[in-house]
Structure 1
């Protein structure tokens, strides 16, 4: 940073990072960089459409804010805009993009088959997270891989969230399924802005033909942070650590939820993406009050936690004591019928829906 981090030429750290990523992923030959996950997903889709010269994309999961993705929420007429994925309003997305993005749910082979049957040689790509909260059904990813090959579409794995948390190099390496393109961000730079699109030489052909460019994509702090992050992740078993910490946190939620008789439901799945919910008609109020009470105890807490290497057992012990106190306080308010009186402010807005 002291030497100046902004230049329109490629920084040497970018070349080093590209070599590291291709070394970790022997199936990949080329890399394009961005400075964020939404941009990386958009670049991956632009490349896929340029390579295949097709327009339609099948999506599963959440992949960002851009027009290509929110086009999935453009219904058959304007009255249906926003009907598919709650919280993802496509206002501002051109109506003319209607029908260019179609959706299927994770593990639903029949939905993907119907898309391929309908669009056939118009399908440019299938973009999806290789997994989100749990392992795929046996044979599901193999089915997706074979289906895309048969119809000539590219398979893009979005590793932006699950990525390095489940396995060094990404979940797809652990699951044994090779995509045509993979996308990384978030954890790749340990918080510094960086996004990466890696792919086979054949799949990335469109990157050399379509105009894809941004001055800030050659800023050098992102690649430098990513190189340092990969070196750190390569020298420690981060997936095992975050799984252990996440498991401890999930057990804390279960134990104190039961002891306080609160309707706490700890979602089954990967501990590295631990989350719970309140199974109650007033769930949004309970969720809001939980965050408010945890803030009073020094914790910025939602109903999900993505553990890091910085989280240790002593941190979890402090958190566990706060959870015990907060769950008890919420239970008293709920049992007394004074939930509104216990609130410190308005009910928080809910998040958006995912295709999982």
Structure 2
């Protein structure tokens, strides 16, 4: 019989951290009960190594599958291309075709550069901005990856990145001379933006237009004016926000006027592809600074993104996801009230985050995951909606939530600890000896 916990313990011995992505580690969900490994997937469902089927109401591949897992249309398109060969001495035409499609979507831009991961795409954008401006300092607001330019923010203060997604990120291995080259901005803090934009040697301002909430209209207006007046390169990180609320980036909906937009995650619906889309005078600097990789020219990622764009346009994916999201948020609030549990929900409709307002919130959140798992549903307080989340599946989820909220409420009222697992470890930290 397959022991998934034992596999994870063995994996910890031969892979640092157990895997390549922090966000998929079981201690962030349910340390002693998370299935951890999948054997197959389809739509909004995944199967573990024991062939047990789960409805995924969490991050859908850490935000990659906005259409749904194992989509037949995308897979068939990619498979046909694979059968013709993936990487040769010559270039694949799909790179050119995808660049043309993106420039139709992002009309402010004239050129595109491709990579495979979001973090490396952001590093390319930063390199281009520094090369073009001949300056070094970066102001940023949001989470932008693991590379040295970003993690350098914590060289000055280990807490600098705490409010940008992950806490306790140690900049070990990042050269100390990068101190003060990356400077964080608070979300929607206009006065801080105005003051910080006056620093000398400023190459670019980087923002996420939304994660759990959106940049305000006043902030966007101020941001645009500052970048225009001072000729600062404005980079919009759409790696998480892109392809959810519209075709392409949400920056268009809130009025940001970028120099560069960076895409990743959902642009490939799980296939590895990222893009840096920008103005010619900045993008062309890639000819002067060395930015190149053989992995960026393979055919699969380009083909997947082309299929994703076509699917989005034909099926109006974002309209479906928004409609489902509005319904789901309304029902979650109803169920929390019904079961005397106070929750706080973010303003976005396609990425739903809800927090339990209680002094035992960590216990409640872990218990919620544990109890939902008994209903064969992968769940925490973050839901990335997909086109595969049809209304019947969402209703099934809500029935399980009602049942789970009732049990949680009862345990709190009677001061009972019914959690079988240890509490989740949501911040970044080394794995405990017990887990090892």
Q: Give me the TM-score of the superposition, normalised by structure 1.
A: 0.92
1:274 CA displacement? 0.8
Aligned position for 2:264: 185
1:82 CA displacement? 4.3
CA RMSD of aligned residues (A): 1.5
Deviations 1:278-326 (A, max 9, x none): 1112111111111111111111111011111111000011001110111
1:152 CA displacement? 2.6
Deviations 1:231-279 (A, max 9, x none): 1111122221111111222122211111111132222x11101110011
More helix by proportion, 1 or 2? 1
Q: Does 1:211 find its partner at 2:290?
A: yes
Match of 1:168 among 214, 222, 247: 247
Alignment of 1:1-356 (within 5 A): 1-7=82-88, 9-75=90-156, 80-82=157-159, 84-85=161-162, 86-119=167-200, 122-267=201-346, 269-339=347-417, 342-351=418-427
1:35 CA displacement? 0.6
Q: Is the 8 A contact 2:220 2:255 kept in 1?
A: no
Aligned mates of 1:70, 1:6 — CA distance in 2: 33
Any idea what SS the aligned residue of 1:300 has? Answer: strand
Q: Give me the TM-score of the superposition, normalised by structure 2.
A: 0.76
Q: Is the 8 A contact 1:246 1:306 kept in 2?
A: no
Aligned mates of 1:38, 1:84 — CA distance in 2: 16
Any idea what SS the aligned residue of 1:166 has? Answer: coil
Aligned mates of 2:216, 2:306 — CA distance in 1: 34
Aligned mates of 1:42, 1:6 — CA distance in 2: 24
Q: Is the 8 A contact 2:342 2:357 kept in 1?
A: yes
Where does structure 1 lack aligned partners over 5 or more consecutive residues?
none
1:137 CA displacement? 2.5
Where does structure 2 lack aligned partners over 5 or more consecutive residues?
1-81, 429-436
Deviations 1:191-234 (A, max 9, x none): 11100000010121321111111221111111100000001111
Task: Tell me which moved more, 54-63 or 107-116.
Answer: 107-116
Q: Is the 8 A contact 1:7 1:218 kept in 2?
A: no
Q: Is the 8 A contact 1:59 1:127 kept in 2?
A: yes
Deviations 1:104-150 (A, max 9, x none): 1122121112212222xx11100101233334323321211221222
Aligned mates of 2:289, 2:90 — CA distance in 1: 19
Q: Is the 8 A contact 1:250 1:275 kept in 2?
A: no
Q: Is the 8 A contact 2:124 2:291 kept in 1?
A: yes
Task: Tell me which moved more, 1-10 or 13-22.
Answer: 1-10
The count of aligned residue pairs is: 343
